[in-house]
Structure 1
């Protein structure tokens, strides 16, 4: 799920449809924390489809950040 800055870029680029898999409970700006895509004051509205392959996407994100933390830990040693 895009963060607020990415959601803003999507709006400014006038992208018609956004599809994402994993929600972001900490910084998600398309429904999890805030829903910038549903803001009626904006002059462009993006259709959002969420949860596509949610488990698989969530696992990919978890693995990615786990590996990043391991690499950072090794570099500090």
Structure 2
């Protein structure tokens, strides 16, 4: 898939999510961008350490910001671009919010809930399931995480 800079191209928005991830400071570098009708309505960066909030994942922060912009918790028609495969908490929040598409960068075999470790996106659920597309700028997203954990002296197989 060629990478372009067209504003509606997943690579364009994943670059924006990567910019957010690089602002994570002491937190694991994960960034998220929510787009609705071609406009960015929510951004988020992992802030569990900074905010002392176990739910402070980039996706949750972005959803909260987007809900304020829309004045609605329903994100029907929106897309989220996140640098790491959502965990079960974030995946369920995305399902509940009714986002239409989830684009993620790095797969997370230890905790990803879009098919790597778990799969919350199964038929027969009472909610519409978003389309899930993984591996967008995967190498760059994975490298950001690997560098973070290497610097901390930890292993985080991705």
User: Normalised by the size of structure 2, how large is the TM-score?
Assistant: 0.41
Q: Deviations over 1:5-51 (max 9, x none)?
A: 00011011111000001000100100101111224224220100101
The match for 2:110 among 26, 30, 36 is: 26
Report the aligned-residue RMSD.
1.4
What does residue 14 of structure 1 align with?
98
**1:58 & 1:24 partners in 2: Cα distance?**
9
Whichever structure has more helix as a proportion of its residues is 1
| In 2, Cα distance between equivalents of 1:15 and 1:27 | 21
Matched pairs, number: 69
Q: Which runs of 4+ in 1 moved over 3 A?
A: none
- The two structures have a TM-score, normalised by structure 1, of 0.79
> Which blocks of at least 5 consecutive residues in structure 1 are unaligned?
71-77
Task: Name the SS for the 2:102 alignment partner.
Answer: strand
Structure with greater contact order relative to length (CA < 8 Å, sep ≥ 6): 1
In 2, distance between residues paired with 1:29 and 1:48? 11
C-alpha separation in 2, matches of 1:59 and 1:3: 19
* Bigger share in strand: 2
